[in-house]
Amino acid sequence: MPVPATSGRSSGSPPSANTPHARSLAPDLARGVMLAVIALVHAHMLVGGDSHFAGGYPTHGDVLDRIAAAVLTLFADSRGYPMFAALFGYGLARVAANRAVSGWDWPRVRRFLRRRGWWMVLFGLFHAVLLFPGDILATYGLLALVFVGALRWSDRALIRLAGVCLVVCSTLYSVAFVGAMAATGSGAAAMETVDPLTDAAIRLASWPVSTLLFAVTSLSPFLVGIWAARRQLLEHPERSLGLLRATAIGGITIAVVGGLPLALIHSLLWTDTSTLVSTAAFALHSTAGVAGGLGYAALIALLAVRLGDRGGPLVTALRASGERSMTCYLLQSVVWFALFNPTTFNLGQHIDVATSVLVGLGVWVLGLLVADLLRRAGRRGPFEVLLRRLSAERDRGRVSRDQG
């Protein structure tokens, strides 16, 4: 998961191009924390299977496994990605606003953002083929390409479409997901160990479908993020404490309540797993997850207000990983491949869901350490730098031609 970077002076679309200017704490802190959520989700999805998300939750798990499944369903699954999608929309809007302040007209801003979108799609393609099937880089790039015009929509249009997409898109995503699981089966028995080339070919074949599905379910929070950016809710959270408190309390409460049916299924307390019941539970869970993602973002913004200029080593490391979120996200994928692929350590065949929590947290901590080492060395994230250069160089060439 990659992820947007925003700051008081400049902001980037997820994953962001970092700047040397002073940055707002809330966006980076949010991404740093949510990278932990993403790590927890990916770790348990690889349990019992291989690099295609064959596993996920126990069918005959012990009590600890069932508790872990319920907790992850309520607080992690489908909660991190919506928040990242909202931050992506937020970052995209802030980039456009900052470029406009610098004198760029709208056609130039649109070209720049779409160019970044194309590069993100390409990054996502290589990411999926070489490492990991659950890529979201291409999803963000696709949103930038198709919906860059939303940056000029009215507030009413943004909120109305976000509301429609929240229900319709979550339902479509749920039907497609449950249908795919029913067709292929879940668990390690549904997958066959294949050679590396075939493994990569499977990921390549599934990449367009997964990218489109992730884009569908990410559209609603993406639009809300654009709306929030116009009010600079993350750069100046102290101005909107009432709204942030209501969003944090309401959003997280909705996520927990809406996730209860699926949590009962995953923890084996609800045994009716017919297609209709599973689809309804998954749709409710996904829809509520959008509220949860927004609630998490609001809660972290409130925490940033409380912290102010204070912060110990953990906050510093979280902020460093948030500034280098794309690099940390891709680093996680490298570790997943090394640990879980059948051609390497094949760890998914040897751990349960409860143990995957420890593995996920360990991988996240590794990212914190790497990000903090880069911070100490005065280095940006290498993939953030690469995206920035690939986007900016062509832009400078266009500017030179226009001026010539």
Confidence check: pLDDT of 190 > 90: no
Q: Is the pLDDT reported for residue 351 higher than 70? A: yes
Structural domain includes residue 20: no
For residue 137, tell me if it sits in a domain: yes
Is residue 187 over pLDDT 50? no
d(CA 376, CA 378): 5
Which own/partner pairs from 342-349 qualify as long-range (CB within 8 Å, at least 24 positions apart)?
A: 342/50, 342/51, 342/193, 342/194, 342/199, 343/195, 343/196, 343/199, 346/50, 347/46, 348/46, 348/47, 348/48, 348/49, 348/50, 348/54, 348/55, 348/188, 349/48, 349/188
Position 169 scores a pLDDT of: 82
Give the whole-angstrom CA distance, residue 397 versus residue 393.
6
Instruction: Provide CB contacts within 8 A for 166, sequence distance 6+.
Output: 220, 287, 290
Residues 384, 120 contacting (CB under 8 angstroms): no
- The phi and psi torsions of 391 (rounded to 5 degrees) equal -75, -45
Q: How far apart are CA 391 and CA 86, in angstroms?
A: 22
For residue 104, tell me if it sits in a domain: yes
8 A C-beta contact, residue 231 and residue 301: no
What average pLDDT does the segment 68-97 reach? 93
pLDDT per residue as tens digits for the range 100-111: 999 999 999 999
DSSP 268: T
5 SS3 class: strand
Residue 20 pLDDT exceeds 80:
no
Whole-number Å distance between alpha carbons of 378 and 336: 27
pLDDT band for 225, please (50, 70, 90 cuts): very high
5 is a domain residue: no
Residue 144: what pLDDT?
96
Distance CA 347, CA 153 (A): 47
Count of domains for the chain: 1
Question: For 42-56, 57-71, 293-307, which range has the lowest pLDDT when averaged over its residues?
Answer: 42-56
Per-residue pLDDT, 404: 35
Weakest mean pLDDT among 5-14, 159-168, 195-204: 5-14
pLDDT tens figures, 302-342: 999 999 877 799 999 999 999 999 999 999 999 999 999 88
Asked if the structure places residue 286 within a domain, the reply is yes
User: Which residues, listed in sequence order, are joined to residue 5 by a DSSP beta bridge?
Assistant: 12
Residue 231 in 3-state DSSP?
coil
Q: What is the pLDDT of residue 323?
A: 94
Range of the structural domain that residue 258 is part of: 25-403
Q: CA-CA distance, 170 to 213, in Å (whole number)? A: 10
- Greater model confidence, 254 or 283: 254
Of 344, 336, 363, the C-alpha closest to 47 is 336
Q: Is residue 15 part of a domain?
A: no
User: Which of residues 292 and 194 earns the better pLDDT score?
Assistant: 292
Backbone φ and ψ for 12, nearest 5 degrees, come out as: -125, 160
Q: How confident is the model at residue 18 (pLDDT cuts 50, 70, 90)?
A: very low
pLDDT at 70 over 70: yes
pLDDT for residue 16 = 39
What's the token pair of residue 382? 């290498």
Predicted pLDDT of residue 196: 80
For residue 9, is it within any domain?
no
Residue 174: inside a domain:
yes
The DSSP call for residue 153 is S
Average of pLDDT values for 53-68?
Answer: 73
Whole-angstrom distance, CA of residue 280 vs CA of residue 171: 8
Compute the distance between CA of residue 108 and CA of residue 275 in angstroms, rounded to an integer: 48
Q: Is 12 helix (H, G, I), strand (E, B) or coil?
A: strand
